[in-house]
Amino acid sequence: MTAGTTTTAHGTTTAEHALAALQREHGRPLFALLLRLSDGDRQRAEDLVQETLVRAWQHPEAVYAEEFDSVRPWLLTVARRLAIDARRARQARPPEVGEDVPETARVTADHAERAAAMLDVREAVKTLTPEHRDVLVLVYLRGASVAEAAKTLGIPPGTVKSRAYYALRALRRVLPGYATDPR
């Protein structure tokens, strides 16, 4: 419809008139089909009707092909394919949520907050004695059991437990405002 369009006395083009005629003649059946395919979502169906008509405007060779008695089958096919594509796109995206955040939603820190917290913890760990720091590194960072840490450090398991307890207690004092993870 874009090629060979002319402007009328009212400032509209013949392509606009042809598109308006398509809308008048085929808009209702298109809307009815797309409303069913959109599960009753009127806004989505209206958007898909408009997109179908845009495709008709972009492909005048298909709309005005002489081998077709009517353009409606072509329009319905395009509309159905657009509806399928839209459904697939919605299913590929995570569901949208409203503006209301449930009170039970867990608030997570963003990357910058996590990085700042990590720096705070590193500085706090530096304040520990080397004995306490060694136990924390082995047990909490490297995942060693109490027995493994005791063997590595050459101290009794009870001492590992005691140092771990007092090291965590010292960190809590140095890091006020950092709550322990509720998990």
CATH-assigned architecture of domain 111-174: Orthogonal Bundle (1.10)
| Strand, coil or helix: 103 | coil
- Give domain 14-92's CATH architecture: Orthogonal Bundle (1.10)
Spatial distance between the Cα atoms of 78 and 75, rounded to a whole number of angstroms: 5
Domain 14-92 identical in fold to domain 111-174: no
Give the domain ranges of the chain: 14-92, 111-174
Residue 110 vs residue 51, higher pLDDT? 51
> In this predicted model, what pLDDT tens digit does every residue of 93-150 receive, in sequence order?
776 666 665 666 665 556 777 777 788 888 888 889 999 999 988 998 888 999 999 9
Per this entry, what is the length of the chain? Answer: 183
pLDDT digits (tens, 9 = 90+) for 73-89: 888 899 999 999 988 88
Distances 179 to 108, 115, 159 between C-alpha atoms, Å? 13, 16, 26
H helix count then E strand count, the chain? 8, 0
